[in-house]
Amino acid sequence: MLELFIKSINTDDAGRIIVVIQDHLAEYMAKDDSKKMIKDMVVQALGENFVKLEMSKTSARITVAEGTTDACKTLIEEELKKGLELAMSMMGQMQDDGSKTE
For the chain, give every domain's residue range.
2-99
The Cα 72–Cα 68 span in angstroms is: 6
pLDDT in tens, 41-95: 999 999 999 999 999 989 999 999 999 999 999 999 999 888 878 877 887 787 7
pLDDT in tens, 4-38: 889 999 999 999 999 999 998 888 888 899 889 88
Contact (Cβ atoms closer than 8 angstroms) between residue 44 and residue 60: no
**What is the predicted pLDDT for the residue at 99?**
59
Contact (Cβ atoms closer than 8 angstroms) between residue 41 and residue 55: no
Domain 2-99: which CATH number of 3.40.50.1980, 3.30.70.260, 3.40.640.10, 3.40.605.10: 3.30.70.260
**What is the predicted pLDDT for the residue at 100?**
56
